[in-house]
Structure 1
Amino acid sequence: MVSLTDRILPLVGVALGALMSFLVSSLNERARWRRQQAVRWDEHRLTAYAEYAHAVKELAARYHMIAAARGLVSGPMELEPTPEVLTELGELESRRSALSETLGLLGDTEANTASKTLDHCLWRLETLARGVPTEVEQNWDQALQEFRSARSRFVERARASLGVPGAVARDVTWPAAWRPTSRSSPSPSP
């Protein structure tokens, strides 16, 4: 005659095995879902970072051309601030602002903070390019250098947010043979 414990132990073993299988499957499914969500949001975050950075660079390039037209800098093609150009700049700024809002929703704290600093540097370039008076005299070359540094910081923070390893190259100079010899030659863009 088989005792009650001999009958129950196999059932308990089967029940424990089923429970463990369920728990492991649930944990694996949950981890897979989290990975999919992370990839999904990383794709959106990458798009937001890239589009914002491109919009900022596009505006800075236009401000650089306007600054050249005003004689603040030599180099890039000059762009007179005509009503049409100012309208285009307004549209570009609206796009940058909208992208900044998306960035605020998707970006991490460090990248968002870096984007705000970058915005301020961009607006400083605009102020100088358009000749808007300020309380403190400002220098185009210094403002452009601060803009470039802020843009590099933003890119670094965005890369860190996305988990992209490595560093962004900085201050890579042109080979001597490639450097322009006259002051009227184009200077590097923002």
Structure 2
Amino acid sequence: MLLDRECMVSLTDQILPLVGVALGAVMSFLVSSLNERTRWRRQQSVRWDEHRLTAYAEYAHAVKELAARYQMMAAARGLVSGPMPLEPTPEVLADIGELESRRSALSETLGLLGDTEANTASKMLDHCLWRLECLARGVATEVEQNWDEAYQEFRDARSRYVERARASLGVSGVVARDVAWPAAWRPVTRSSSPQ
């Protein structure tokens, strides 16, 4: 019986270290796998965030470029003052057509990469942009609207889009709008100029 007990102790002394080594190997494998999976997910997230940032920014730039052209065309029709008037010549309209095609293609990329909130905001921004186009070209619509109201709606829609895009990218904070110019930079009007 003493011999059996010594065999059991000897066998236990041999098995326990083997179990410890096996358990350590399994734990090491699990921790390494978890770390590798976390690292891969982080890399994928960064990779897609870069593409999303590019899509959001290029789309916003294309929309802004079109809005500027429509504002210049509106100035040519006397709907707004300020920007250099741009007559809707065939060349100008062809250029605007190319810009619209680019905006449309960027919108498709945005649809693939953007989140639901940013994509919804981009569609509203498209509608406001097309409203500016109708006014700039003199296309009649069911509801009359002046340029200033339509342009303010466009600016509000653009701000909502930027906010949603920033939230999608995890960028915190608020983008300031309508920051007053320093007094020294404001244009002097004729009535207030020194005599």
Q: TM-score range by the shorter chain?
A: over 0.9
Q: Which has the higher contact order (CA 8 A, sep 6+)?
A: 1
Structure 1 segment 18-167 matched on structure 2, within 5 A: 18-167=25-174
2:131, 2:185 → 1: CA distance? 30
Structure 2: segments with no counterpart, 5+ residues: 1-5, 190-195
Between Structure 1 and Structure 2, whose CA radius of gyration is higher? 2
Pair 39,100 (structure 1): closer, same or farther in 2 beyond 3 Å: same
For the residue of structure 2 that corresponds to 1:3, the secondary structure is helix
Runs of 4+ in 1 over 3 A off after TM superposition: 175-182
**Structure 2 residue aligned with 1:171, among 160, 172, 178?**
178
Task: Measure how far apart 1:179 and its partner are.
Answer: 3.5
What is the CA–CA distance in structure 2 between the aligned matches of 1:86 and 1:181, rounded to whole Å?
A: 36
The count of corresponding residues between Structure 1 and Structure 2 is 183
Counterpart CA distance in 1 for 2:88 and 2:184 is 34
Worse overlay, 163-172 or 22-31 = 163-172
Q: Percent identity?
A: 87
Over the residues paired in the alignment, what is the CA RMSD in angstroms?
1.4
In structure 2, C-alpha distance between the alignment counterparts of 1:128 and 1:29, rounded to whole Å:
56
Query: With structure 2 as the length reference, what TM-score do the two structures score?
Result: 0.90
Report deviation, 1:3: 2.5
